[in-house]
Amino acid sequence: MIHPLLRPKKQRPCLLWRFHGFHDRALSTLPKNNTVANHQMKLMERARASATFDTYEMTCLLYGGDEIVAKRRAAFDRVEKLAGIHDTSKLPLCYAKTDREEQYVEGLRVGKAAYDDGMKHRHNFFDHMTPRFALANASPFGLVKLMFEPAIQLNGSKEQQDKWLSLSRDGRILGTYCQTELAHGTFVRGIETTATFDPDKDEFVIHSPTLGSTKFWPASLGYSTTHAIVMARLVVSQKDHGPHMFIVPVRSPDDGTPMPGIKMGDVGLKMSYNGMDNGFASFDHVRVPRTHMLMGHAKLSREGIYSGNPQQAKLSYSTMMMVRGIIIRVSALQLAQATTIATRYSAVRDQGFGPSGIASTETPILQYKSQHFRLLTQIAKSYAILFAWRGFDADYTNLRQQQNLDYSSLAYVHALSAGLKVWSSQEASAGAEDARKCCGGQGFLIISGLPDIVASVTAAATFEGENYVMWQQNARYLFKCIRLAREGKKLDPRMEYLAGQVVSSPGGTATKEDLLDPEYQLSIYRLRARNMVLAAYDALQKSERSPADAWNEHMMAIISACRAHNDYIVLESFICAVKNLSQSSQQLRGVLNDLRSLFALSTVTNPFTVDAASFLLTGAVSLEEVEMIRSLVNDLLERLLPNSIALTDAWDFSDASLCSSLGMKDGNAYETTMKWISQMPINKTTWEKNGGVHGGWKTWVDPILKAKL
């Protein structure tokens, strides 16, 4: 049944495009400045008007208040105008300029606009992400604030911070972070690049001893950076002290000339991030002063004496944890972008005669259960990821502010950063791809904006720790907690739920009211996670194989257990976030409670949920409860459907930042699509110069047609 607030009121006009005289005629048929609302625009107006809460109130909640929202909007407006991307009637240059050189130059142009605005107006809106909400390492200048300065801040001595941060913040140097090698990525301990101390000259010799030790992938390393923090093995008097960080000049700030002994360049086209010059570099006995080793946690004296505080040295993970936190937040934003585009398009795309098959007009595809189930559950996940990030960020900030050297929570926060980075990037990647599929063939177009969002967020599954390796890192912490609990030792309070033995729920006793209660929902997830983690741990302990072989044998069960644990953590964060909204309106709290329930309950019944059966197998829910949950999910979808557009509008994405012909806020999807494709070089040039006959016709097509077979 079509929701009454979204029911179309009249038949849409048929819009026919004649490709005869494509370029001029296509543009001439379009309304000027959208002065006349077409059918799609009217559908969007109706869908937006059906909201039951104040969208701006939600925007302020998502971004941290009215003042931040105002400053953020002003910053985006300035940058979009400065970069020339604010006029969305024009084909975005990122779609017009498609070869490697052009895409890099476009990245420089937009990246500089964002960098300059941050420097001039002293804000950090583009420190961690681009004006299109990709992670900042999609911009040639993004690593300066994302990793270079934080690495110095978190790992350098006071003197080093004063020197290098001043140079960077004044714009006198541009930095990047160089860790990944051609042959080593996530396995940092295996890095081969060496930094050998020369006591005679008080210098380090940075060297790439093998082809595999070539630094490979670091952002901006190709052609945009002057200095790099290079992760290399510290070697003193033939003793290897393992990987440490060194500041290495790689190009002259005066003219960009590569420093002697460094061979570097761009790694080429990628699935996304092509405005960024991800690069490679090999070092041939490059010398830097001893004082270029970051010495906040470990030191090397002029005499070559190595010293360090083992406890403080653990904080060298801080940069990695910080970046993982940023990945979590950006994953929420990119999933939100994908769902915004797909939901808007679904609200204006008519197809078929409705679920009943008897409607007098075609129906917006958002009305179909399969469509709004997919989109609303992904919308719920985007909110869930953001709230999970807030919980992590609070824990991470508290750890960094410890004044009494109490790092007892370090292991928990480190494991949390690994688990949530994996969970959020996997869910955002899968969700963005499903949002793309929700747009049918149009979602396959580059100008839909969706392919780049999907490719961009998918990259997060690899950098800052490959996801399946990070699951195992997360698992080792969980298993350590179980071991400590069974030895009667103290656990981090947030992990005490793992103490005890596998238990089962009586099942079948919950009412619908119970299943909508946040604490009851959390108890379901807690029981499932507890039983799965304990079962995986016990299976390892009972194995007669070597520890390494046992781990490999049970790896998929281990990963499933980690997923369940992080499902629990994310739901807990969602519940806590909504609980703390005492100052928000009743309407907003009601929508967020419905969204939280949809996230919690649809995960149990969604046919595409990873390990959905584990809710039953662990005794967390019964078959009877599953049937009730299915019914409740339908009820929640019915209540949330009128808010679909508002829930995505609340993210406050500008049309320029979405860069999507399908996701325009006014709903004008078809006309924008035709405007943009009419301006594509292949169409514009062919019609203007050759009357619609492409140059390849005479060379390749005509000979086939005129051949005598």
pLDDT per position as a tens digit, 596-649: 999 999 999 998 888 889 999 999 999 999 999 999 999 999 999 999 999 999
Which of 122, 142, 162 corresponds to the end of one domain?
Answer: 142
Q: What is the pLDDT of residue 82?
A: 93
Which residues lie across from 176 on neighbouring strands? 228
Alpha helices in 122-278 (DSSP H): 142-143, 149-155, 158-160, 166-169
Q: How confident is the model at residue 400 (pLDDT cuts 50, 70, 90)?
A: confident
User: Are 221 and 178 within 8 A, CB to CB?
Assistant: yes
Q: What is the dihedral of CA 84, 86, 87, 88, to 10 degrees?
A: 120
Q: Is 439 helix (H, G, I), strand (E, B) or coil?
A: coil
Pairing of strands 227-236, 175-178: parallel
Is there a domain that residue 592 lies in? yes
User: Are 651 and 340 within 8 A, CB to CB?
Assistant: yes
Check residues 364 and 502 and name the one with the higher pLDDT: 364
Query: What CATH number is given to the structural domain containing 242?
Result: 2.40.110.10
Mean pLDDT rounded to a whole number for the chain? 91
Is there a domain that residue 669 lies in? no
Domain extent for 289: 143-308
**Dihedral sign from CA coordinates of 231, 232, 233, 236:** negative
In this structure, the answer to whether residues 129 and 178 fall within a common structural domain is no
Q: Is the pLDDT of residue 514 over 80?
A: yes
Residue ranges for the known binding site are 180
3 state SS for 645-666: HHHHHCCCCCHHHHCCCCCCCC
In this structure, the answer to whether residues 113 and 178 fall within a common structural domain is no
In this structure, the answer to whether residues 198 and 291 fall within a common structural domain is yes
CB atoms inside a 10 Å sphere around CB 621 = 23
Is there a domain that residue 664 lies in? no
- Type of residue at 123: H
Q: Is the pLDDT of residue 286 over 80?
A: yes
pLDDT per position as a tens digit, 146-161: 999 999 999 999 999 9
Distance CA 320, CA 465 (A): 9
pLDDT per position as a tens digit, 403-416: 556 678 889 999 99
Q: Is the pLDDT of residue 313 over 70?
A: no
In this structure, the answer to whether residues 285 and 197 fall within a common structural domain is yes
Arithmetic mean of pLDDT, 79-105: 94
List the one residue out of 102, 643, 128, 693 whose CA is nearest residue 339: 643
In this structure, the answer to whether residues 599 and 494 fall within a common structural domain is yes
User: Are 674 and 635 within 8 A, CB to CB?
Assistant: no
CA-to-CA separations, 36 to 40, 287, 553, 661, in angstroms, rounded: 11, 67, 64, 18
**Dihedral sign from CA coordinates of 664, 665, 669, 675:** negative
CB atoms inside a 10 Å sphere around CB 581 = 13
Arithmetic mean of pLDDT, 221-231: 97
Distance CA 4, CA 430 (A): 31
Q: Is the pLDDT of residue 358 over 50?
A: yes
Q: What is the pLDDT of residue 271?
A: 94
Q: Is the pLDDT of residue 229 over 90?
A: yes
Distance CA 568, CA 322 (A): 22
Count of residues for the chain?
709
pLDDT per position as a tens digit, 676-700: 999 999 999 999 999 999 999 999 9
Is there a domain that residue 162 lies in? yes
Q: Is 176 helix (H, G, I), strand (E, B) or coil?
A: strand
Is there a domain that residue 620 lies in? yes
In this structure, the answer to whether residues 297 and 330 fall within a common structural domain is no
CB atoms inside a 10 Å sphere around CB 222 = 21
Is there a domain that residue 659 lies in? no
Which residues make Cβ contacts (< 8 Å) with residue 558, sequence separation at least 6? 471, 472, 475, 536, 540, 551
In this structure, the answer to whether residues 132 and 198 fall within a common structural domain is no
Distance CA 618, CA 527 (A): 8
Which of 240, 273, 308 corresponds to the end of one domain?
Answer: 308
Check residues 509 and 302 and name the one with the higher pLDDT: 302
Residue with tokens 């270079």: 148
Distance CA 626, CA 492 (A): 33
pLDDT per position as a tens digit, 475-487: 999 999 999 999 9
List the one residue out of 66, 162, 154 whose CA is nearest residue 400: 154
pLDDT per position as a tens digit, 8-22: 444 333 333 333 344
Arithmetic mean of pLDDT, 508-530: 94
How many structural domains comprise the chain? 3
CB atoms inside a 10 Å sphere around CB 620 = 24
When mean pLDDT is compared across 26-40, 191-205, 540-554, 603-617, the lowest value belongs to 26-40
Arithmetic mean of pLDDT, 307-336: 85
Q: What is the pLDDT of residue 407?
A: 74
In this structure, the answer to whether residues 122 and 151 fall within a common structural domain is no
Q: Is the pLDDT of residue 471 over 60?
A: yes
In this structure, the answer to whether residues 122 and 175 fall within a common structural domain is no
Arithmetic mean of pLDDT, 94-112: 94
Provide the percentage of residues in the chain whose pLDDT is more than 70.
91
Distance CA 120, CA 75 (A): 11
User: Are 304 and 237 within 8 A, CB to CB?
Assistant: yes
Alpha helices in 286-409 (DSSP H): 310-313, 318-348, 369-400
Distance CA 605, CA 598 (A): 11
List the one residue out of 625, 627, 635, 376 whose CA is nearest residue 515: 625
Q: What is the pLDDT of residue 359?
A: 56
Is there a domain that residue 68 lies in? no
Q: What is the pLDDT of residue 18?
A: 34
Q: What is the pLDDT of residue 683?
A: 95
Which residues make Cβ contacts (< 8 Å) with residue 249, sequence separation at least 6? 226, 227, 259, 288
In this structure, the answer to whether residues 130 and 159 fall within a common structural domain is no
In this structure, the answer to whether residues 472 and 590 fall within a common structural domain is yes
Residue in 427, 464, 625, 671 annotated catalytic = 464
Which residues make Cβ contacts (< 8 Å) with residue 278, sequence separation at least 6? 217, 218, 219, 221, 222, 266, 267, 270
Q: Is 496 a catalytic residue?
A: no
User: Are 431 and 461 within 8 A, CB to CB?
Assistant: no
Is there a domain that residue 60 lies in? no
Residue with tokens 């019609």: 687
Which of 616, 647, 678 corresponds to the end of one domain?
Answer: 647
List the one residue out of 345, 249, 287, 339 whose CA is nearest residue 661: 345
Distance CA 324, CA 327 (A): 5
End-to-end CA distance of the chain: 57
Residue ranges for the known binding site for FAD are 180
CA-to-CA separations, 542 to 74, 140, 535, 549, in angstroms, rounded: 60, 51, 11, 13
In this structure, the answer to whether residues 366 and 505 fall within a common structural domain is yes
Query: What CATH number is given to the structural domain containing 358?
Result: 1.20.140.10
- Write phi, then psi, for 524 (nearest 5 degrees): -60, -50
